[in-house]
């Protein structure tokens, strides 16, 4: 399996608190992605990164920010968590942005905002 | 982005061949077709990818007709462990890696 570690794996937090999820890779892949998965919606792209300090928004980026200061780490921050952000979050990596490049996914982080 | 349409769910029995068809009528010239598999509580996993005609690997086959407006994922002789959600993705860039709701395949004994 590709070396992708998400932390924490589970988290319960209160509405209004900041939360940071971490994705760490050991593959030295250039591209990293954050998705959320909710029942009936499949996976939706939140943000992605195409290099250190280079990030861009996905389809559901409102309420989320990201940072990538090192190739191996991609952080997803919820500045002020809301109940609508209760979800399972997946990180993914790929070597290039070309569609014929396989993407590898982490095991997910289950976040509950109460 | 090419929109994809696939069945919400399918049931099959162990040992049968399963075919899941995905429609992508507005596929672009540079787009590849990729299928992922997802088990409960796990991230999606790449199964197979193709551009045209037929692709086969140790897990599945992918059939793509000449007009490329649809594709069919074929799983030979499924087992209970093939119960999962299967996603069809179409795009020219992994930045456009867009997942729909997928097809829930349930394999029955």
Exposed (0-12), middle (13-18) or buried (19+): which is B50, by Cβ within 10 Å?
buried
B50 touches chain A (CB under 8 A): no
Q: Do A104 and B87 touch (CB under 8 A)?
A: no
Please, are residues B89 and B98 in contact by the beta-carbon 8 Å criterion?
A: yes
Q: Tally the C-alpha atoms within 13 A of residue A35's C-alpha that lie toward its C-beta.
A: 26
Taking only residues 65 to 94 of chain A, the set having a beta carbon closer than 8 angstroms to any beta carbon of chain B reads: 90, 92, 94
Mutate one of A21, A25, A37, A43 to test the B interface: name it (highest B CB count within 10 A): A43
Alpha-carbon distance A37 to nearest alpha carbon in chain B (angstroms): 10
Going residue by residue through chain B, which has 109 residues, state the pLDDT in tens, using 9 for 90 and above: 568 899 999 999 999 999 999 999 989 888 889 999 999 889 999 999 999 989 999 999 999 999 999 999 999 999 999 999 999 998 766 666 778 789 999 999 9
CB contact, 8 Å: A34 with chain B?
A: no
pLDDT tens digits for range A32-49: 999 999 987 788 999 999
Residues of B in contact with A105 (CB under 8 A): 42-45
Q: Is the CB of B96 less than 8 angstroms away from the CB of A99? A: yes
Give the separation between CA A30 and CA A106, rounded to whole angstroms: 16
Per-residue pLDDT of A49-86, as tens digits, reads 999 999 999 989 999 999 999 999 999 999 999 999 99
Distance CA A27, CA A71 (A): 9
């Amino acid at each position: 399996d590709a070396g992708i570690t998400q932390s924490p794996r589970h988290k319960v937090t209160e509405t209004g608190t900041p939360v940071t999820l971490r994705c760490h890779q050991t593959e030295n892949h250039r591209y990293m992605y954050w998705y959320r998965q909710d029942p009936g919606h499949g996976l939706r792209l939140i943000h992605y990164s195409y290099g250190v300090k280079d990030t861009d928004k996905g389809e559901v980026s409102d309420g989320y920010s990201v940072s990538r200061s090192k190739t191996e780490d991609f952080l997803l921050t919820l500045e002020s968590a809301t109940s609508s952000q209760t979800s399972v979050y997946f990180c993914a990596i790929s070597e290039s942005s070309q569609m014929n490049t396989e993407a590898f996914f982490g095991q997910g982080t289950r976040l509950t905002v109460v | 982005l090419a929109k994809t349409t696939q069945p919400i769910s399918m049931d099959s029995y162990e040992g049968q061949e399963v075919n899941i068809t995905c429609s992508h009528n507005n596929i672009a010239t540079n787009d590849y077709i990729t299928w992922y598999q997802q088990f409960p509580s796990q991230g999606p996993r790449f199964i197979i990818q193709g551009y045209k005609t037929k692709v086969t690997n140790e897990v599945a086959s992918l059939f793509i007709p000449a007009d490329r407006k649809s594709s069919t994922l074929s799983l030979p002789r499924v087992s209970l462990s093939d119960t999962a959600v299967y996603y069809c993705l179409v795009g020219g860039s992994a930045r456009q890696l867009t997942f729909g709701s997928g097809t829930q395949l349930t394999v029955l004994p």
